[in-house]
Chains A and B, each alone.
Chain A
């Protein structure tokens, strides 16, 4: 499905409202005539569920906020069984390259384990680490680093190979 202009506007609105705070809202059920994302779309997953969790420096443990986002991710994945997910683990630039690859793998795995503990089948989940290779934010202060220390759940139709 291609996001329409109206869909993108909704995405922006949801982002402003603070995405990823809740589970799918029954009020958005089905296809909206205005072109809102379907609940079973990856776009909805990103905009309404929240596709990422953040970590503190050099850590891979999940805080309560991350767990609530992952609870919602798990619920969505349980409802939308035709999707699989690739979990990307990332680190900020304040570390050495290879250590950060290992750290990103640890973060991705922490998310995978949590989703499995919430009932998602392990064979629907794959992990990859990008270490510090794919920063989202490019300033060199904690404001950016805190957003780069992340694990992102990328859902797509079909099973992982």
Chain B
């Protein structure tokens, strides 16, 4: 897990020839992310310059990842290289804006890659507003080990996304999930980690014990999950740097459905004892726990608000699964879901404004979002079984898993914009379920 600890150096590249930012009357190039249908913003990414011959392939691979990130967001549309009139031979030469206007590229991303000694590479990029004939922000350079080339590409794409949308990106991030294999009645499961786009999958556990529902810590260094390695479901915490794991608690009964607090110091989870399931919080440093719900009904799947002040969870206290919000210390809860069917797996958006959930109605499963008071419920997906949404770091995309029906049914990871657009499968090597999206990497 050494790669997790490596920190990319990042600094603004000084540009001697940076023109003063030309302010067009309509303001800088900007695409607003709205709930409605949008027209993707056309951009061009000419082949990145290879500053030494050995960097040619790397430059191409890197540019391809940048393009895949931007196009994959659904917000940008690439002008394919076959349509380009000219390329970029020298990263510092003036841009021929007329060539890019002619192919109707509104944004231009240029880049250069060089290999340095010691396995290090440097990646430079600039972003231009073609019609304003001006750079958008300063050029940036990322330096790091070649093995992290994908992360550097994701950082370039995040910077482009941020400058063009005014919001933070989500590409330089990871997902921990359950990698599944084997037939439906003898499924083997293990924890696995991947880049947000399905690249670089690596296993975190073997498949000897059943494991479920991993969740990232806010700093990305730890993973909570439920394991049957003692024969009972029990919450464990795995340290990604050391790969050491420990049971979180020695509570009698079964524990599951863990989730970190936003400051990473507290864990919420469910304890099932004598057939009754309630929500507890556990202080990670002291092990001190407190019981937050006390009801004969099922209370589970808790998730903190981004400020840590409140908890959304599911309960069947009203007869079937519904969503409730209570204060972080427990106490009175108010029901927020009132539509037809059952609601589970609530997850609070990192922006704080929405709750994502799984809805089961008339035998169909949906991923949806609603406001904190339950209003403006929007179902984003529908299938035989969609379950377990997790938010992208910027709160614009949800990842979840979709299971196909029947005796050969199996789960795969999917993502969808919070608007309901851009539904797509995440390309993992095998079956995948229970995704948990990290924060943006440092």
A54 to B286, CA, bound (A): 42
Select from chain B the residue with minimum beta-carbon distance to A108. Answer: B275
A106/B275 in contact, CB under 8 A: yes
Given A98-B300, A110-B275, A129-B272, verify A135-B184 contact (CB < 8 Å).
yes
Verify if B388 is at the interface (C-beta below 8 Å from A): yes
A86 to B141, CA, bound (A): 60
A44 to B317, CA, bound (A): 40
Given A98-B270, A99-B300, A129-B233, verify A136-B275 contact (CB < 8 Å).
no
B344/A58 in contact, CB under 8 A: no
B272/A105 in contact, CB under 8 A: yes
Select from chain B the residue with minimum beta-carbon distance to A107. Answer: B275
A residues less than 8 Å from B270 (CB atoms):
98, 101-102
B234 to chain A, nearest CB (A): 11
B59 to chain A, nearest CB (A): 43
Verify if B256 is at the interface (C-beta below 8 Å from A): yes
B185/A113 in contact, CB under 8 A: no
B436 to chain A, nearest CB (A): 13
Verify if A133 is at the interface (C-beta below 8 Å from B): yes
Verify if A93 is at the interface (C-beta below 8 Å from B): yes
B135 to chain A, nearest CB (A): 48
Select from chain A the residue with minimum beta-carbon distance to B253. Answer: A105
Query: For chain A, what secondary structure do more than half of its interface residues adopt (helix, strand, loop), or is it mixed?
Result: mixed
A residues less than 8 Å from B345 (CB atoms):
96-98
A residues less than 8 Å from B233 (CB atoms):
101, 128-129
Verify if A84 is at the interface (C-beta below 8 Å from B): no
A51 to chain B, nearest CB (A): 17
Select from chain B the residue with minimum beta-carbon distance to A86. Answer: B231
B275/A96 in contact, CB under 8 A: no
B272/A101 in contact, CB under 8 A: yes
In the complex, which residues 240-297 of chain B have their Cβ closer than 8 Å to any Cβ of chain A?
Answer: 254, 256-257, 270, 272, 274-277
Determine which of B185, B254, B300, B301 lies in contact with A135 in the assembled complex, contact meaning CB atoms within 8 Å: B185
B254/A101 in contact, CB under 8 A: yes
Verify if A21 is at the interface (C-beta below 8 Å from B): no
Determine which of A99, A113, A137 lies in contact with B275 in the assembled complex, contact meaning CB atoms within 8 Å: A113
Size category, A interface: 20 to 34
Select from chain B the residue with minimum beta-carbon distance to A93. Answer: B385
A138/B274 in contact, CB under 8 A: no
A residues less than 8 Å from B316 (CB atoms):
99
Verify if A47 is at the interface (C-beta below 8 Å from B): no
Verify if B57 is at the interface (C-beta below 8 Å from A): no
Select from chain B the residue with minimum beta-carbon distance to A109. Answer: B275
A108 to B232, CA, bound (A): 13
A residues less than 8 Å from B388 (CB atoms):
96-97
A159 to B322, CA, bound (A): 39
A94 to B344, CA, bound (A): 12
Determine which of A94, A101, A105, A107 lies in contact with B363 in the assembled complex, contact meaning CB atoms within 8 Å: A94
A102 to B298, CA, bound (A): 7
Verify if B360 is at the interface (C-beta below 8 Å from A): yes
A96/B344 in contact, CB under 8 A: yes
A residues less than 8 Å from B212 (CB atoms):
97, 101, 133
Verify if B118 is at the interface (C-beta below 8 Å from A): no
Complex A-B, nearest 5 residue pairs according to Cβ-Cβ distance, in ascending order: A109-B275, A140-B405, A102-B277, A96-B344, A105-B272
Listed by A's residue number, 11 A-B pairs whose Cβ atoms lie within 8 Å are: A97-B213, A98-B213, A98-B257, A99-B314, A102-B270, A102-B272, A102-B277, A102-B298, A102-B300, A106-B276, A129-B233
Q: Which residues of A are at the interface with B, using a C-beta cutoff of 8 A? A: 58, 60, 93-99, 101-103, 105-110, 112-113, 127-129, 133-140
16 further A-B contacts with Cβ under 8 Å, apart from A96-B388, A99-B316, A128-B231, are A95-B344, A96-B321, A96-B344, A96-B360, A96-B387, A97-B213, A99-B321, A101-B233, A101-B272, A102-B298, A105-B275, A106-B277, A107-B275, A136-B185, A138-B185, A140-B405
